[in-house]
Structure 1
């Protein structure tokens, strides 16, 4: 009988040790994104990893960062996240139209006059509600990450809308962006970000839209002789996780990870504007691409051509959301 009790105690102790070992296994957070490490998003991801490592849960959480579409492109990462293969991502806001139509507001051309207006809207009650609009689909928005205002690059100069007619432009998967280019009689093509350089280099497309930091870091300027400073649209991201993963984090871990993420997003946003200015200057210094400054009259032609897209999508987005975004231009 004593031998039986001893065996039982031994088995119980082994079970406790195994359970303790299982509990000690670190929580892995795979952070997948599509841009280079030296971009605002890339630096934000590395800062998040650093902050978690230095935090009180550094021995419980292991952050792995995968830049340059090493794991997934933005078109696949949200599905991978819902399957549990990725825990964090920061896709462009355009990528969420499959999950909610309201976020299409950020793709409307010439909606925001500058990044200050963007920030005011994102911090507003309406902007914060948009972060939670994904939860019915199993995703949770954790914050907005800036890249900046988009410019147009092309193989030929773009000064007025008629210059874009008949040309093929790469766009992200977005019905709004498709309508935007169709409004100037161009041909929009939805292609992954990782393929853009090759498409430009081989003349499979004539141009694309992006921020200066992406145009520089991805070397688009080397194969695009003209960049029109249009500031016509916004390229921002939403840092997102699956609701299941985020809500299942231990109560002593989630607040620490969330604080690190908030700090990393603020860090990324602080450097976004600086990165774009430095990238613009680097492009100028390279002499490989001419930056075209639009006159007020030329810019107004683009506005007049593209603004009807607002009405085209007002029912899907919600006129109240569009009005709240417009109001952010008049504050501050």
Structure 2
């Protein structure tokens, strides 16, 4: 008489120690546009590890990095359709589904992560999440910090006056164009892969991004200065497909939420370490660090900031300014 696989497992005691091993594992594709090696892939790896630690065999986490399933907008559509499960995504979900609440994208408004986190807890931040969830078919699971965005330049930039006639490369984000033009920069749109060449040929005088950009693009070869403006705290966001999420049990939702929380904290820690490394490495390659007059930049940007906030939903301006002042109290 043949022994069934279940009886064999029971005999060995494996049913007690691995309750999930017999069920088909839940597949979780986790998408991100960055390549392996950064804080993003580290967080995704920690997410998978935590789930395996807590529920061996229950989940099959498959990372899709470097935009292998498409750019952020394409992945957002896949999430809406329930054709992928989770994304560690940038700010497109806020601009696409809830732009009238997206104060986080405004340059020189929030200067610390505490301020950003405080805004997320305001009525406007909660409305942004709720609207994005309803319009985009998303389940918001939390923010993950990225290195703040600074400038690189081919000359010293200390005050807004130094930006007169300065050709600054920016992505095509209307809010950013409005604020930087108000400060005095001459905005130029150049595709990201062409940033180095544009600097080499003097098509642009500088750009803005987190410190990973000048480091990975070897911009010390064509730029001399790092201008530490810290003008945008632009987070990653963990979001899930609502169609997929709603089909999970409460127990599985709880485990995944815990795993995201653990991964976010780990990613934040890794990002801080990497940002320190990039800064030191760029200086070793010969770039000069300049601490500009941030107050002067914020003052110069204020008319544009007021205009942008006033065009948003009722209450956003007050909530944003209150969150921005929270670190100063």
User: The TM-score by the shorter chain falls in which range?
Assistant: 0.7 to 0.9
RMSD over aligned Cα, in angstroms?
2.9
Distance (Å, rounded) in 2 between the aligned partners of 1:168 and 1:229? 18
Distance (Å, rounded) in 1 between the aligned partners of 2:131 and 2:253? 21
The partner residue of 1:119 within 113, 117, 120 is: 117
Distance (Å, rounded) in 2 between the aligned partners of 1:201 and 1:30? 39
Residue 248 of structure 1 corresponds to 247
Quote how far apart the aligned CAs of 1:198 are. Answer: 6.1
| 2:307 is equivalent to residue 312 of structure 1 | yes
Asked whether the 8 Å contact 1:34–1:69 carries over to 2, the reply is yes
Q: Aligned residues, how many? A: 304
Quote how far apart the aligned CAs of 1:267 are. Answer: 1.8
Secondary structure in 2 aligned to 1:238? strand
Distance (Å, rounded) in 2 between the aligned partners of 1:195 and 1:95? 25
Quote how far apart the aligned CAs of 1:71 are. Answer: 2.9
Superposition pairs of residues 195-214 of structure 1, within 5 angstroms? 196=195, 205-214=204-213
Between 262-271 and 206-215, the greater mean CA deviation after superposition: 206-215
Residue 317 of structure 2 corresponds to 322
Deviations 1:79-98 (A, max 9, x none): 23223443222222255312
Residue 69 of structure 1 corresponds to 67
Quote how far apart the aligned CAs of 1:175 are. Answer: 1.9
Distance (Å, rounded) in 2 between the aligned partners of 1:87 and 1:221? 39
| 2:128 is equivalent to residue 97 of structure 1 | no
Structure 2 alignment gaps of length 5 or more: 1-21
Structure 1 alignment gaps of length 5 or more: 1-22
Asked whether the 8 Å contact 1:45–1:264 carries over to 2, the reply is yes
Asked whether the 8 Å contact 1:40–1:271 carries over to 2, the reply is yes
Distance (Å, rounded) in 2 between the aligned partners of 1:34 and 1:200? 24
Deviations 1:201-225 (A, max 9, x none): 6666443222224443454445433
Secondary structure in 1 aligned to 2:235? strand
| 2:307 is equivalent to residue 302 of structure 1 | no
Residue 171 of structure 1 corresponds to 170
Secondary structure in 2 aligned to 1:78? helix
| 2:34 is equivalent to residue 31 of structure 1 | no
Residue 189 of structure 1 corresponds to 189
The partner residue of 1:110 within 101, 108, 124 is: 108
